Amino acid sequence: MGKHQATRSIKQETEEMKTTTPAAMNTKTKRRPDTEGTAPGLVDSSCEDRSSPEGMVTMPKAFPEEFRRDVIAVARKGEAPISQIAKDFGISEACLHRWLKLEDIEDGVRPGLSKAEQAEIRELKKRNRLLEQENEVLRRAAIYLGRGVNPK
């Protein structure tokens, strides 16, 4: 295959990818066009299609808290394997494992920071930044006024 033929086929593939709509793709697993029919070409889109109409990648919307609680309650009953529960609810297995881990942290079963503790740390860091900025303003004012320059 010559240089121009390779360039042309890449351009064709790019055009094909642009014209394929997200609705036409399987939302669970997508294959890259260049690896059709091979296992390494699988791309996990973890529950949702993340591509926007403009072609930009966006984050999936968070699941409602009530939905999470329901899924966690079903998983904690242990009546079915985690993989089956995740499949039934339309989420990835990794997502369900993460939710279970976070719930264990919230319940105090597992070491880690709860949501309330994380929020408190976030607020304290924000307050600390503000105080550091105020301190810097006062430090500069003291230097300015300490030069003997009278502002009157």
Is residue 17 pLDDT above 80, yes or no? Answer: no
Global pTM reads 0.50
Per DSSP, the chain holds a count of helices (H) and strands (E) of: 5, 2
Q: Which residues of 16-35 are buried (b: 16+ CB within 10 A; e: fewer)?
A: eeeeeeeeeeeeeebeeeee
Which tens digit of pLDDT belongs to each residue from 81-131? 999 999 999 999 999 999 999 999 999 999 999 999 999 999 999 999 999
Which tens digit of pLDDT belongs to each residue from 26-79? 444 444 444 444 344 434 444 444 455 566 777 777 889 999 999 999 999 989
Residue 62 has what pLDDT?
A: 86
Please choose, from the candidates 49, 47, 44, 38, the residue with its C-alpha nearest in 3D space to the C-alpha of residue 68: 47
The more confidently predicted of residues 105 and 11 is 105
Residue 101 has what pLDDT?
A: 95
Cβ pair 45, 29 in contact under 8 A: yes
In the chain, what are the domain boundaries?
Answer: 65-107
Residue 116 has what pLDDT?
A: 94
pLDDT (mean) for 130-144: 95
Strand partners, 44: 29
Q: Which residues of 55-80 are buried (b: 16+ CB within 10 A; e: fewer)?
A: eeeeeeeebeeeebeebbeebeeeee
Residue 6 has what pLDDT?
A: 46
Helices (H), 20-150: 65-77, 82-89, 93-107, 115-146
